[in-house]
Amino acid sequence: MTLAVTWDGEQVGVLERADERSREYAFTYVQPRRALSLSLPTSTTSFTPAQSRPFFEALLPEGAVREQIAAQLKLAASDSYGLLAALGRDCAGAIQIYESRRTSEPWSVEWLDDEGLDELVRDLPRRPLGVRAGDERLRLSLAGVQRKAVLVRDRDGRFGQPLNGMPSTHILKPDPDDSGVPALAINECFCMRLAVACGLEVAPVELLILADRPCLVVTRFDRDLDDAPVRRLHQEDFCQALGLTPDFKYQHEGWEVPSFAAFARLLDDHGVRPGADRLMLAGAAVFNYLIGNADAHAKNFSLLHEPGGVRMAPLYDLVSTAVYPEVNQDLALEIGDAHHADAVGHTEWADLATDLGLRARFFAPWRARLASRVQGTAGVVLAEARAEGWYAPVLEDLVGLINARAERVRRSVDGD
């Protein structure tokens, strides 16, 4: 079986197994006019399995979600090729993956009423992503370890499940049942809204109560909702761009990749606005430090492809992990040489400026102003949460954390 890889409906390449029993696969361009990834430049020769794997593995779910979906599809969790064949009709970015012999069916939507949407949320622990065993129409994929649904939403706010490769437009993330991370959807909603209020470019979010639990609804930044029909926009995360499989999304001591310095080099080499995007990365690093997001790894930063190069995608998955003591608080990406927030001071911030190609004398007052803006705005967003009815006690801990870390950032400007 050969898999066709399409971009905007046009086949750009194929995925092929080494043989029918092999779980290794290789990618080859059939129209090498535009690159799927910075790690897969256009070429007339095939890429090796090791070169092909990072981009395509990142299109699939991870961890327990992957194992559960694979079991429902009667596939081995390690059979990435089989999972791509089954789930690849709606992926992150602009590509779709089909069995070459399959004919495409017309796009459609299975619209959900309120009861149907509640049932979908309740069933996510059993049916991650909303994928149903035996339903060939619903074949979609989304990376990550969290259980979530991939949906279409129309201009009237109605939700539905995309069928036969129709582009999804929204991601629905219910609060998990795990009591170790209470009010996670509210936490993320607060952090995302705070980032927007502070002038950062962020994917739009909304909090809904579905099946008696808070659910975060995220508008996909890799879809152009102004087009009719919706058009896919191509994107890749920094693991894909650096040629790293998802299990290398965290930076370990002594590793040069992934890192903020490696991100900056990609932007300088391929970016359409490298200066603005390096500053955007700096803002993301400061903001994640302030909210206590230790899980901002290489898959939580993405690039949008444009004619002539790439640019930073809006920020997403902004959530405070520091308010949950049980969660590992080692930084996913080092700030300077610091692998823990408590070790970040004047020297580490100056090193980050160097990594991102910014002047330390400019970056110091800039980060202090951002810290003051985040601190001052946090109370406003907290008041909005109370007034709009989505407040949770964890937000008090989060605002207290922001206050303490903002003060540390301001002190670091003076070298303390």
8 A C-beta contact, residue 225 and residue 133? no
Q: Where are the beta strands (DSSP E) in 204-259?
A: 205-210, 213-219, 223-224, 231-232, 235-237
- Long-range pairs, 395-401, Cβ under 8 A, ≥24: 395/183, 395/186, 395/187, 395/190, 397/323, 398/187, 398/190, 398/191, 398/291, 398/292, 398/320, 398/323, 401/291, 401/292, 401/320, 401/322, 401/323
- Listed residue (113, 87, 107, 98) closest to 7, CA to CA: 98
Q: Quote the tokens at residue 210.
A: 């579905």
- Listed residue (14, 32, 132) closest to 81, CA to CA: 14
Catalytic residue among 175, 295, 351, 355: 295
- Listed residue (256, 174, 252, 183) closest to 215, CA to CA: 174
The CA-CA-CA angle for residues 359, 362, 365, to 5°, reads: 140
Task: Map 308-345 to HEC letters.
Answer: CEEEECCECCCCCCCCCCCCCCEEEEEECCEEEHHHCC
> Does the annotation mark 295 as catalytic?
yes
Residue 301 vs residues 283, 304, 315, 322: alpha-carbon distances, Å:
12, 10, 7, 20
- Listed residue (153, 148, 151) closest to 61, CA to CA: 148
Residue found under tokens 């194929």: 14
Tell me how long the chain is.
416
Rg, Å, the chain Cα set: 21
Q: Where are the beta strands (DSSP E) in 211-248?
A: 213-219, 223-224, 231-232, 235-237
Which residues share a beta bridge with 14? 4, 28
Catalytic residues: 295
